[in-house]
Structure 1
Amino acid sequence: MRNAHSQPHPSLQEAARALREGRRGRADAILIPFLRQNPHDANALALIAESAMLAGAYLQSEGFARRALAANPGHQAARWTLARALVLQKRPEDAIAAVEPLIAGAPHAGPAMLKAGALDSLGDYEGALAIYRHQLDRRPDNPALWASYGHVLRTVRRIAEAIAAYRKAIELDADTGEPWWLLAALKALWDEDVPKMEAVLSRPLPADAASYVHFALGRVLDEAGRHEQAFDHYAAGNRLRLPPEFDPAAIEGKIEQIRTLLTPAFLAERPGRGDPAPDPIFIVGLPRSGSTLIEQILDSHSMVEGTSELPHLPALVRDLLEQRENRPGAAYPDLLAGLPADRFAALGKAYLDRARPHRKTAKPYFIDKLPHNWEHIGLIHLALPHARIIDVRRDAMDCCFANFRHCFGKGHPASYSLEAIGHYYRGYVDLTAHFDAVLPGRIYRLEHEALIADPERETRALLEALDLPFEEACLAPHENARAVRTASSEQVTRPINSDGIGAWRPYAAWLDPLRRTLGDLAQ
């Protein structure tokens, strides 16, 4: 964003140009010595804040941006960087406060969309919708606004309006990509859409946009029973998303690090050091394992509130990695070994503080169903020793193939190849088995197939494990009208069913790489 203040020093103009061109190293080589000589220069501080954010150092970015604003409270670029850094730290309330002064005079929709996204993450869906409607009145030809508007409409189950919003985004720019996939996820694409998507793919497209269209085509062809063609599109979409440097087997080394550190002796030396609050119920597992259904069942209970997938535990880990104040250079989880006793309680309290804005009721317990938190079971135990942990496990072939054919926007690169998702599933099974051994009874495991076969028996057993009284409403989760933000929002509106069981079998001929990686875990 532009600034209403003096022209920057020529060397700062060069640094800004280097950042725009993706040459962050060159920008830092200019900015660091400049700031040694001019530590209060707002323009230089704003630029290095942007550089830190691009490097993933969000805490540092926040610090530099705040220093820039202290030197020049009207520095719009610094404020914009601060707001984005706070969003990336998963601090939506702080981000809203930071971006608010930019919205009225902004020449583009960015600040308003940032606020709307933050409100969405906090569960203020009406507030987010109001912003999108206002922006669409001003910018009706903006396809990104229509798509974002559709996301919130889908969350609050205004499905017909969501479909119309996605269709409008496609009408304005069919090459955007994502709206095609979102329509496919809602089962709102038809045979006549297939040639339209094929025409889109015939044009030069960014990899991200093309990937969305491939996944959408795969889903339509899948439902039509054209499995070989569907698989080709799933595979093409995944190839476009898999980072070239991604190592499918790296998860195994990470699991070994956790097992090596979090031994019975290590855990026994740190009993009860975390925050004593019993409020959180963590639902862990792989994505597409049925965790949203479990959240829906528990949210139907009078004592439990579902808050969806909260990003705060990984954010706290990232903060630890960025700070590394106790052991410079240490990696996670090894840096846990050097934390002082009271730091675990502080981490637990920080998690609860960040989760609090997501809690909209007075219910005593809340759910965090971020699946990847299985990697952080040890930290949960240390920071929140009275939190409950539920491991939702789905058949390996079904679960891994469901990940492979789902287009995750970001954050789950293991889903982008059959070998990678197989390694990830094996790592998950190995690590949870480790915690079963070193923390017996700490994790409650619920088999997805068992729940589908006998919902009442498994629901009663789950509630008993959580020390909750049985309530009939938990047997009809599809009647729970709460907003659902995850990819399973459409499935949980239907009665419990077995539709997804065995979904991999029509694709068995192409799944040998997955079967080999899973080994004895595959059927």
Structure 2
Amino acid sequence: MALLAARPDLAEAQANEILAAIPGHPAGLLIRASARRRLGRAAEALADLEPLAAAQATWPPAHLELGLARGETGDSKGAVEALSRAVALDPALVEGWTALAVQHRLLGHAQAAGRAEARALSAATRDPVLLEAGAALNEGKLAVAEHLLRDRLRARPDDPPALRMLAETATRLGRYEDAEALLRRCLELTPGFIPARHNLAVALYRQTRAAEALAETEVLLEADPRHPGYRNLQAAALGQLGEYDRAIAVFENLLADYPVQPKGWMSYGHALKTVGRQDAAVAAYRRALALSPGLGEAWWSLANLKTFRFAPQDLDAMRQALAGGDLSDEDRFHLDFALGKALEDAGHDEESFSAYSRGNALRRASLDYDADETHRHVLRSRALFTPEFWAARQGWGCPSPDPVFILGLPRAGSTLVEQILASHPEVEGTMELPDMPALAKRLGGRTRRDQDSAYPDALADLDADACRTLGEEYLARTAPQRKTGRPFFIDKMPNNFAHVGLIRLILPNAKIIDARRHPLGCCFSGFKQHFARGQAFTYDLTDLGRYYADYVDLMAHFDQVLPGAVHRVIYERMVAEPEAEVRALLDSCGLEFDPACLRFYENDRAVRTASSEQVRRPIFTEGLDQWRRFEPWLGPLKSALGSVLNAYPEAPAPQERPYDHSGD
């Protein structure tokens, strides 16, 4: 057994000698099977382990090794069954809980994986304080876990397990910078603490620091080259860096080794979709559904291709899945969104709207979005960013003209604008970059849940050097996304409309383009869309209307105090007169006209948004008034839009603004 880790070949040879002398010896069979699994021969290992586990029903090591071997052969469901048996027999089996978490993630069971990870953390110690903290983590009592762990670290600041557990708490709370700091300290103390390094790689990835995450993943893969979780993270980080061909190759090798993982096939489909291989993406999503018919995100991924059409049997399969009682909320709302799209395409508008409404209501219930907070942000921004504010800061910031910000609301035509500009030889398209919101979040500091952020008011305290440094930091953060050496690059994060003041302060020569679409068309399109993250206002018609009205109000303010700083593209005008609008767009960016910008659909660059398939076709008009079919049910949206609806494409007159929903 001591030879297993370093020389599994010798361990196998010695186990064979034992078994030659004593056929069927349980420990000999276990050692031989473990050695064969470590040598990459998991199928041979199973020949010993299946009868061994059946005969030794209460021996945890047999069931642990069976679960590990099943996982190696790609049988994640069988692995979960065996590993669950192992940890039920021995709840202190850290390796069993850790492996169980990996297999649950491969199957897409995020909550079960989180519970298993928490049990692994608590099983790794016999310390009563850490056991209590681990139990709190397992039950989702994050505040309790955080309090216990901070108390422990005040007494023992260099306790690696406590550091890692507090980092896990911070990760679940979305405080990835805190998690990173804790994990780096943990690894300073114990560089070989592999689970902590994996946690660090995840924290870096979730901060969109993919190059750093990839470096940590490579260290992990040196220790365990076949680990499916590390390989999935490697592929995800490569995709975040825009290295799609490499990401696809990693997925293909991973799925060859572990073919029975629906989430893996789905992630592979996402990568294929991004590079325009729609038929292959559909096949990958279908493979995921063959393995897990209730995997809602795979159904939604098909719907999200936009140009894909479901067959009648697909509607039956989705309805059957929704009728089942064992669906998670996440699977259920993804299925509702997908069913809504299928019914809309089939012309069943009322039933389609009902499905969309169910999905939105279920998703909204899990989100902590406050429309009043958005409105107060707009009011504070208008109060701060006055003509006097800008006059006092002339010449501040980083002078680089490289970034082109395309902002507004999602589903307003921003991907079309990006594709047009990225077809110009001087402009590189990247993706929706999270770096400006991350800077804003940092400047706002941490607040209690019942308090507004100090942002944007904190910008008044910055001096010229700080503004220049922030602009340079933004350029450094986004540099890994630039692959072509073109002088300009696009940041298409729509939510950056809330940060126009910050953009102008730290990057005064950046171009800003506001992509705008008819409020009912834009908002209803958002209501039909399930976003991976970051658009919490889209799951309620009233929230949507309020958000759109606040956006129009803030942009109108910048039009007034910084005339000409923002170029506006009205989607309906772009569709009606593409050449005139493209010329105006290029002129606003200081670019010469290039005919390739009118043939944007020939550009084969990777596109990561929901419109990825649509922008690979010429401009089309069929989607302009699609919302009219659903107008009977859009009353709450119209009411929330108020005067903004009738004024479109202009903003309401100043005396009608702000549309004050909160009464403050």
The TM-score by the shorter chain falls in which range?
over 0.9
Aligned to 2:187: 69
The answer for unaligned runs of 5 or more in structure 2 is: 1-97, 99-119, 647-664
Asked if 2 retains the 8 angstrom alpha-carbon contact of 1:284 and 1:391, the reply is yes
Aligned to 2:147: 29
Write out aligned runs for 1:124-203 (5 A).
124-186=243-305, 187-203=308-324
Give the letter aligned to residue 499 of structure 1.
E
Alpha-carbon separation, structure 2, partners of 1:436 and 1:445: 10
Write out aligned runs for 1:401-416 (5 A).
401-416=524-539
What is the CA distance between 1:8 and its match in structure 2? 5.7
Going from structure 1 to structure 2, the CA distance change for 1:68 and 1:106 (only over 3 Å counts) comes to farther
Going from structure 1 to structure 2, the CA distance change for 1:522 and 1:79 (only over 3 Å counts) comes to same
Asked if 2 retains the 8 angstrom alpha-carbon contact of 1:120 and 1:128, the reply is yes
Alpha-carbon separation, structure 2, partners of 1:9 and 1:107: 32
Aligned to 2:162: 44
SS of the counterpart of 1:123? coil
Write out aligned runs for 1:357-368 (5 A).
357-368=480-491
What is the CA distance between 1:29 and its match in structure 2? 2.4
Aligned to 1:215: 337
Give the letter aligned to residue 257 of structure 2.
R
Give the letter aligned to residue 156 of structure 2.
N
Give the letter aligned to residue 240 of structure 1.
L
What is the CA distance between 1:54 and its match in structure 2? 2.0
Aligned to 2:467: 344
Write out aligned runs for 1:441-480 (5 A).
441-480=564-603
Greater mean deviation of Cα atoms: 6-15 or 336-345: 6-15
Of residues 496, 512, 520, the one that matches 2:619 is 496
Report the count of equivalent residues. Answer: 519
Going from structure 1 to structure 2, the CA distance change for 1:465 and 1:122 (only over 3 Å counts) comes to same
> What do the CA deviations read for 1:165-188 (whole angstroms, capped 9, x no partner)?
000101111111011011122214
Alpha-carbon separation, structure 1, partners of 2:445 and 2:162: 22
Aligned to 2:479: 356
Alpha-carbon separation, structure 2, partners of 1:195 and 1:510: 25
What is the CA distance between 1:401 and its match in structure 2? 0.7
The answer for unaligned runs of 5 or more in structure 1 is: none
Alpha-carbon separation, structure 1, partners of 2:444 and 2:130: 29
Greater mean deviation of Cα atoms: 162-171 or 461-470: 461-470
Going from structure 1 to structure 2, the CA distance change for 1:201 and 1:106 (only over 3 Å counts) comes to farther
Aligned to 2:629: 506
> What do the CA deviations read for 1:87-114 (whole angstroms, capped 9, x no partner)?
2222111111123222352885222222
Of residues 272, 279, 292, the one that matches 2:395 is 272
> What do the CA deviations read for 1:491-515 (whole angstroms, capped 9, x no partner)?
0011111121111101111111111
Alpha-carbon separation, structure 1, partners of 2:258 and 2:159: 36
Aligned to 2:353: 231
Aligned to 1:81: 199
Asked if 2 retains the 8 angstrom alpha-carbon contact of 1:296 and 1:306, the reply is yes
Q: Percent identity?
A: 46
Of residues 411, 417, 420, the one that matches 1:297 is 420
Give the letter aligned to residue 242 of structure 1.
R
What is the CA distance between 1:251 and its match in structure 2? 2.0
Going from structure 1 to structure 2, the CA distance change for 1:8 and 1:124 (only over 3 Å counts) comes to farther
Alpha-carbon separation, structure 1, partners of 2:455 and 2:230: 34
Mapped pair 1:252 → 2:371: no
Write out aligned runs for 1:106-125 (5 A).
109-125=228-244
Alpha-carbon separation, structure 1, partners of 2:144 and 2:197: 23
Greater mean deviation of Cα atoms: 401-410 or 283-292: 401-410
SS of the counterpart of 1:356? helix
What is the CA distance between 1:27 and its match in structure 2? 1.7
SS of the counterpart of 2:250? helix
Give the letter aligned to residue 417 of structure 2.
I
Structure of higher RCO (CA pairs closer than 8 Å, 6+ residues apart): 1
Of residues 333, 336, 356, the one that matches 2:456 is 333
SS of the counterpart of 2:582? helix
TM-score by length of 1: 0.95
Give the letter aligned to residue 147 of structure 1.
M
Asked if 2 retains the 8 angstrom alpha-carbon contact of 1:272 and 1:382, the reply is no
Asked if 1 retains the 8 angstrom alpha-carbon contact of 2:408 and 2:516, the reply is yes
Asked if 2 retains the 8 angstrom alpha-carbon contact of 1:243 and 1:413, the reply is no
Give the letter aligned to residue 341 of structure 2.
R
Give the letter aligned to residue 41 of structure 1.
D
Alpha-carbon separation, structure 2, partners of 1:390 and 1:162: 32
Going from structure 1 to structure 2, the CA distance change for 1:363 and 1:72 (only over 3 Å counts) comes to same
Alpha-carbon separation, structure 2, partners of 1:416 and 1:246: 10
Write out aligned runs for 1:384-463 (5 A).
384-463=507-586
Aligned to 1:313: 436
Asked if 1 retains the 8 angstrom alpha-carbon contact of 2:446 and 2:453, the reply is no
> What do the CA deviations read for 1:49-75 (whole angstroms, capped 9, x no partner)?
212222222211111110000000011
Asked if 2 retains the 8 angstrom alpha-carbon contact of 1:391 and 1:445, the reply is yes
Alpha-carbon separation, structure 2, partners of 1:473 and 1:231: 39
> What do the CA deviations read for 1:111-165 (whole angstroms, capped 9, x no partner)?
2222211110111001111111121112111000000000000011111110000
Give the letter aligned to residue 191 of structure 1.
P
Asked if 1 retains the 8 angstrom alpha-carbon contact of 2:410 and 2:494, the reply is yes
Give the letter aligned to residue 526 of structure 2.
N
> What do the CA deviations read for 1:236-280 (whole angstroms, capped 9, x no partner)?
110011036533343212211111222222222222221111000
What is the CA distance between 1:16 and its match in structure 2? 2.1
Alpha-carbon separation, structure 2, partners of 1:410 and 1:315: 14
SS of the counterpart of 2:205? helix
